[in-house]
Amino acid sequence: MNAFFIAGTGTDLGKTHVACALLRAARARDLSVDAFKPVVSGFDPAAPEVSDPARLADALGRPNDWARVSPRRYRAPLAPNLAARAEGDILRMADLVADCRTWLGSRAVDLALVEGAGGVMSPMTDEATNLDLMVALGLPVLLVAGSYLGTASHLLTALEVVRARGLAVAAIVTSESLDAPNLDQTIEMLRAFERATPIVAAPRAAEWDAAPLVELLLG
Q: How far apart are CA 175 and CA 203, in angstroms?
A: 6
Measured torsion, CA atoms of residues 92, 94, 97, 98, in degrees rounded to the nearest 10: -110
Out of 15, 17, 24, 37, the active site residue is 37
| Spatial distance between the Cα atoms of 49 and 69, rounded to a whole number of angstroms | 13
Q: List the one residue out of 54, 40, 12, 4 whose CA is nearest residue 124.
A: 40
Where is 160: in which H helix or E strand? Answer: helix 151-164
Separation CA 20–CA 119 (nearest Å): 18
Active site includes 37? yes
If you write DSSP's letter for every residue of 55-87 in order, what string do you get?
HHHHHTT-TT-HHHH-SEE-SSSS-HHHHHHHT
Contact 20, 100 (CB under 8 A): no
Which amino acid does the sequence have at 141? Answer: V
* Residues with active-site annotation: 37
